[in-house]
Chain A
């Protein structure tokens, strides 16, 4: 058989076909709400973030110090053993300079690009990173391997969320004015 011997089906539509009413479509805007329980490991992780501390969890069998913390080791498949306070500094494993929001809409004119990064947290095992944002840095100056430090919300503003860390900034830069993301 050859694909070329068949009249392939599938009819391409244009948005204008729908706007002009040439083709009818039906739409729905759901308004669902979810409340996620944080669980045991992440519950403690968030409570520590509220206190201004990043915490990991150790498995004594594979000798990994893990972040995000977990109550079981997915490699050894046994309970993890110990809470380990980590530094609020780390190393940029990789980063991107982004102009698209979560829903693929573009950053507005005048809005700076966002800089998400994987940051390997000091005190955790090599390669243990989390996704967070970088700021207080010119996108051109961001480098893989760069040392960074967390910039926290004020104690009163912290609520026990990953966003209690506003972003990470270059570790050796002078303390600048805090900018809102």
Chain B
């Protein structure tokens, strides 16, 4: 297709915490520096920098990309910020990929940062302005409401219960116990989820990931540089992204068509024809437990409406046939929006290198996928990676 091959060779991240003492700039620096150190590169070798970060409204800082630039290592370099809501963190490697695939750069530092804690009393309040200002905002909606609406429609369409879905939260929070950056790792039961505070039925407190502060970074390089730097490069073999209509109430809420469109684009590029067989490990975006299931279906990892059954059967556990969110996901590691997506990319990078430690899935996986979702429930971002 005329693209140059692109490899991930280094990664770094901070802990994910509810409120970090560090500024967003400092968090960005911590993740970026670790990523460079991990592949023994220095900033002067980096050709350009891309940065992902979600709404400026979290920070109350307009032009957040410019504010964070120094921490991301962008000083006097070509630099671009990308933002597609919750989909941002998996758009990050795609944005970096363009720079190398096109031949413009050989070494790109990709940073994703989020500091949600600055927004008071709760960062949820910042989301009021994502709704249409004339036809929706006067009803004073909250983002949890519309996820609850989507979850209810999904449950109704496929006859799923809250118990079926709570299993995802139980699995991911448990997986996160083995993740050194995790914010809300714990062993809980389905009953704990069902008995947690009902925020917007059918969504309870433990169906949702937390608000978090954190940053993550990766180093992307061209094939020539990759061969020189490491004997364990992980290749970005497919990228896909797609946006659906902003008239969200007119969409089929039971199925994420925008994820399928993004996945088909990435699969075509990577030569994936049977995703459920060819993808060995996946990190779909799980800000809510039902979203992991919804996204598995949109990614065509299983037939529509069947993801809950696979979860109940243990297929999506780390030692199952199709490990899903072995990191612990947004539900367990935490959800600093943009950084979460890149954390998922890092997890697949580590899994495919055999470097995931206690989180390592068995069977020497060689092909994995990360996916995120965002904007007004309408954006899908997907990367397919191979060792």
What is A's interface to B at a CB cutoff of 8 Å? 1-4, 6, 8-15, 23, 27-28, 30, 34, 36, 38-39, 42, 45-46, 66-68, 74, 93-105, 113, 116-118, 127-133, 139, 144, 161-163
Residues of chain A within 8 A (CB-CB) of B12 are 6
Which among B13-21, B47-55, B83-91, B269-277 touches the partner chain?
B13-21
Tell yes or no: B310 within 8 A of A by CB: no
B211 → chain A, closest Cβ, in Å?
9
Q: Could you tell me the distance between the alpha carbons of A158 and B251 in the complex, rounded to whole angstroms?
A: 29
Tell yes or no: B363 within 8 A of A by CB: no
8 closest A-B pairs by beta carbon, nearest first, are A10-B14, A96-B148, A10-B15, A12-B17, A94-B153, A104-B124, A104-B122, A103-B125
Which of A1, A45, A68 is in CB contact (< 8 Å) with B355? Answer: A1
**Majority-rule SS of B interface residues:** mixed
Q: Contact: B357 with A4, CB < 8 Å?
A: yes
Residues of chain B within 8 A (CB-CB) of A95 are 149, 152
Q: Could you tell me the distance between the alpha carbons of A27 and B11 in the complex, rounded to whole angstroms?
A: 33
Q: Contact: B180 with A4, CB < 8 Å?
A: yes
Q: Contact: B22 with A100, CB < 8 Å?
A: no
B37 → chain A, closest Cβ, in Å?
8
Q: A4-B180, A104-B121, A129-B249 are in contact. Are A162 and B153 (CB under 8 A)?
A: no
Q: Contact: B38 with A128, CB < 8 Å?
A: no
What is B's interface to A at a CB cutoff of 8 Å? 10-22, 27, 30, 34, 38-39, 60, 120-122, 124-125, 128, 132-136, 138-142, 144-146, 148-150, 152-153, 156, 179-181, 197-203, 213-215, 245, 247, 249-253, 350, 353, 355-358
B115 → chain A, closest Cβ, in Å?
11
Q: A3-B357, A132-B139 are in contact. Are A13 and B203 (CB under 8 A)?
A: no
Q: Could you tell me the distance between the alpha carbons of A132 and B202 in the complex, rounded to whole angstroms?
A: 18
Which of A127, A144, A162 is in CB contact (< 8 Å) with B250? Answer: A127
In the complex, which residue of chain B has the Cβ closest to the Cβ of A39?
B134
A2 → chain B, closest Cβ, in Å?
5
Residues of chain A within 8 A (CB-CB) of B179 are 3
Residues of chain A within 8 A (CB-CB) of B132 are 68
In the complex, which residue of chain A has the Cβ closest to the Cβ of B156?
A144
Q: Contact: A98 with B200, CB < 8 Å?
A: yes
Q: Could you tell me the distance between the alpha carbons of A103 and B129 in the complex, rounded to whole angstroms?
A: 11
Q: Could you tell me the distance between the alpha carbons of A102 and B15 in the complex, rounded to whole angstroms?
A: 29
Q: Contact: B20 with A162, CB < 8 Å?
A: no
Q: Could you tell me the distance between the alpha carbons of A74 and B378 in the complex, rounded to whole angstroms?
A: 15
Q: A103-B122, A116-B149, A163-B139 are in contact. Are A10 and B22 (CB under 8 A)?
A: yes
Q: A105-B121, A132-B139 are in contact. Are A116 and B145 (CB under 8 A)?
A: yes
Known: A94-B152, A118-B249. 19 other contacts (CB 8 A): A1-B353, A4-B357, A6-B12, A6-B38, A8-B14, A8-B181, A9-B15, A11-B20, A11-B21, A12-B19, A36-B133, A94-B156, A96-B201, A97-B198, A98-B148, A102-B128, A131-B149, A144-B156, A163-B138
